[in-house]
């Protein structure tokens, strides 16, 4: 015999509404994944139309009167506002509704169209190493971003640039970012000088040429060991590695391979795997579509990818295990003469690079700081778009001692601005900082962590992240989560300690 279900409450209806929107957004993500991995070349025009159609429907749902009414009803219910999960949901839905509603539909459409066309112009400009082809689009992108910021600006975020950052890292400001970046920058510049005075490292073991199918097998083996569930995901080749958490039971990653890049493939695989472990660990089975089953911020997301890439994947104990696995996959002949110590050093070589995504753990953050400073200056119109290439090259010369040979290796290297993503870059360094803080705190709870890694056991590391980070979804803001776990907000000191110790170990 079945009992009639009780009538649905406003909160039930709100959650159902959020779930329907999330399903539609998951469809959008599935199409985006397909576009990067599977879609035939001639399908691109229709795909742009499909994505625009879905984006419009998602935006309409996220700003609908139905949603606003349900939310208001829930906000007057004390039982909900005193419940930790429900109140976090209400807080974040309110935040998104208010933000999205302040954007005129016309502006949303124009930003979407400009980013579709701007990306094509950027691809061409980068291929031809000709900034002038992208310059008008970059001008338009920053003009639109400025208009967007003017719509979003509130008393909480009076600075234009902060209103943009807030979209990627809720609650973050540029003042707070400067405060955190300043000591890290000084430390990095000094340590880089220091490294240059020390004996150099032999890069050879990291760039031995190995077959790509075996590189895929090796990366797969490591990802399985760290806990990525391939029954709820898959890994495909793509030009730029990425992770898409489509929804419950489906979190996909991509990776890229070069014959002489087996350790790079492992690093980017573990990076995307780290993002994927976060997505797979969010409580989507029960709360799909609700903020409490969503990632907190890009900074926290990046902390998960960086932790697995750097704190685990570039550590000495890890290579004690991983080299043996590599020998099994690639055959002892190819890696027979390589020691774990030599590989550890090679995988941690510090060498300034024009390209952000090819940079080492230390100099990477200088790339981010450059972008943070320039974006802010462009939004505030202290820097003219036309002056960007010259300023960029001067800063690279100053920070890294390199002469940028052309704009493709300079200010045209990143896809972000062409996509209209302004205010995003700083979250990469937030991720590095949070990763080091989490790793240091975790170390106190797991004193035998190094020995576990040498044995290829990563279950306790993952379990700690699951409990402390993944399972909470957006219950807290990023810095509050960090405070709850580590006893303080964002602090670059553990990252500096980590980098100093690494340099001392690798460069003696």
Binding positions for a copy of itself, rule: CB under 8 A: 20, 23-24, 26-27, 30-31, 34, 38-47, 49-50, 53-54, 229-234, 246-250, 252, 288
**Alpha carbon distance 206, 258 (integer Å):** 12
Are 256 and 364 contacting, i.e. CB atoms less than 8 angstroms apart? no
Q: In what order do the strands lie in the sheet with 235-237?
A: 235-237, 250-255, 243-247
**Alpha carbon distance 237, 275 (integer Å):** 17
**Alpha carbon distance 192, 400 (integer Å):** 9
Q: Which is nearer to a copy of itself, 19 or 483 (CB)?
A: 19
**Alpha carbon distance 28, 53 (integer Å):** 9
User: Measured between alpha carbons, how far is residue 115 from residues 76, 111, 218 in Å?
Assistant: 40, 6, 37
Which of helix, strand or coil describes residue 400? helix
Q: Which of 92, 169, 244, 272 is catalytic?
A: 272
Q: Which long-range contacts (CB under 8 A, 24 or more apart) does 448-453 make?
A: 449/317, 450/315, 450/317, 451/317, 453/312, 453/315, 453/317, 453/318, 453/320, 453/321
CB of 220 to a copy of itself, least distance (A): 14
**Alpha carbon distance 388, 318 (integer Å):** 41
Q: Which is nearer to a copy of itself, 38 or 394 (CB)?
A: 38
**Alpha carbon distance 160, 395 (integer Å):** 24
Q: From the centroid of its chain, how far is CA 231?
A: 23
The answer to whether residue 224 is catalytic is no
Alpha helix segments (H runs only) across 169-231: 174-196, 212-226
Q: Which is nearer to a copy of itself, 38 or 151 (CB)?
A: 38
Q: Which is nearer to a copy of itself, 23 or 355 (CB)?
A: 23
Q: Which is nearer to a copy of itself, 241 or 261 (CB)?
A: 241
Q: Which is nearer to a copy of itself, 213 or 444 (CB)?
A: 213
CB of 293 to a copy of itself, least distance (A): 13
Q: How many CB atoms lie within 10 A of CB 224?
A: 12
CB of 30 to a copy of itself, least distance (A): 6
CB of 445 to a copy of itself, least distance (A): 30
CB of 67 to a copy of itself, least distance (A): 17
Are 153 and 160 contacting, i.e. CB atoms less than 8 angstroms apart? yes
CB of 20 to a copy of itself, least distance (A): 7
> CA torsion 187→193→195→196, rounded to 10°?
170
Q: Which is nearer to a copy of itself, 247 or 389 (CB)?
A: 247
**Alpha carbon distance 242, 85 (integer Å):** 30
Pairing label, strands 250-255, 243-247: antiparallel
CB of 228 to a copy of itself, least distance (A): 11
Q: Which is nearer to a copy of itself, 251 or 315 (CB)?
A: 251
CB of 376 to a copy of itself, least distance (A): 37
Give catalytic residues, as residue numbers.
Answer: 272
């Amino acid at each position: 015999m079945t009992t009639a279900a009780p009538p649905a409450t406003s909160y039930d209806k709100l959650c159902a509404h959020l779930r329907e929107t999330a399903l539609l957004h998951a469809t959008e993500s599935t199409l985006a994944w397909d576009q990067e991995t599977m879609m035939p070349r001639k399908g691109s025009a229709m795909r742009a139309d499909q994505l625009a159609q879905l984006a419009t429907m998602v935006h309409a749902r996220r700003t609908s009167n139905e949603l606003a009414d349900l939310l208001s009803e829930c906000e007057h219910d004390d039982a909900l506002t005193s419940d930790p999960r429900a109140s976090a949901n209400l807080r974040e839905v309110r935040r998104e509704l208010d933000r999205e509603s302040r954007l005129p539909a016309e502006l949303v459409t124009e930003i979407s169209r400009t980013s579709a066309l701007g990306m094509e112009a950027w691809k061409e400009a980068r291929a031809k190493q000709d900034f002038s082809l992208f310059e008008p689009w970059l001008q338009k992108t920053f003009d639109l971003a400025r208009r967007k910021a003017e719509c979003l600006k509130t008393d909480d975020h009076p600075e234009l640039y902060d209103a943009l950052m807030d979209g990627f890292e809720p609650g973050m400001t540029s003042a707070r970012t400067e405060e955190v970046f300043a000591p890290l920058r000084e430390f990095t510049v000094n340590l880089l000088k220091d490294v240059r005075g020390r004996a150099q490292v032999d890069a050879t073991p990291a760039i031995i040429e190995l077959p790509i199918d075996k590189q895929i097998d090796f990366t797969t083996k490591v990802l399985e060991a760290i806990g990525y569930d391939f029954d709820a995901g898959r890994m495909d080749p793509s030009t730029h590695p990425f992770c898409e958490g489509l929804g419950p039971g489906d979190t996909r990653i991509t990776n890229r391979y070069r014959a002489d890049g087996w350790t790079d493939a492992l690093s980017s695989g573990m990076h995307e795997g780290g993002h994927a472990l976060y997505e797979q660990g969010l409580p989507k089975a029960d709360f799909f579509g609700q903020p409490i089953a969503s990632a907190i911020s890009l900074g926290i997301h990046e902390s998960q990818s960086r932790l697995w890439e750097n704190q685990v994947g570039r550590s000495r104990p890890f290579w004690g295990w991983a080299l043996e696995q590599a020998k099994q996959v690639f055959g002892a002949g190819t890696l027979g003469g390589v020691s774990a110590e030599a590989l550890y050093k090679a995988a941690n070589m510090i060498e300034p690079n024009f390209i952000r995504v090819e940079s080492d753990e230390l100099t990477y953050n200088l790339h981010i700081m450059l972008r943070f400073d320039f974006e802010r200056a462009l939004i505030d119109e202290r820097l003219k778009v036309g002056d960007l290439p010259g300023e960029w090259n001067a800063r690279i010369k100053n920070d890294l001692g390199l002469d940028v040979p052309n704009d493709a290796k300079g200010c045209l290297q990143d896809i972000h601005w062409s996509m209209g993503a302004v205010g995003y870059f700083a979250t990469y360094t937030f991720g590095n900082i949070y990763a080091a803080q989490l790793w240091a705190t975790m170390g106190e709870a797991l004193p035998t962590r190094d020995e576990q890694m040498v044995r290829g056991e990563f279950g306790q590391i993952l379990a700690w992240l699951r409990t402390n980070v993944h399972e909470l979804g957006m219950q807290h803001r990023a810095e509050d989560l960090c405070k709850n776990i580590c006893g303080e907000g964002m602090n670059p000191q553990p990252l500096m300690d980590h980098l100093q110790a690494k340099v001392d170990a690798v460069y003696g």
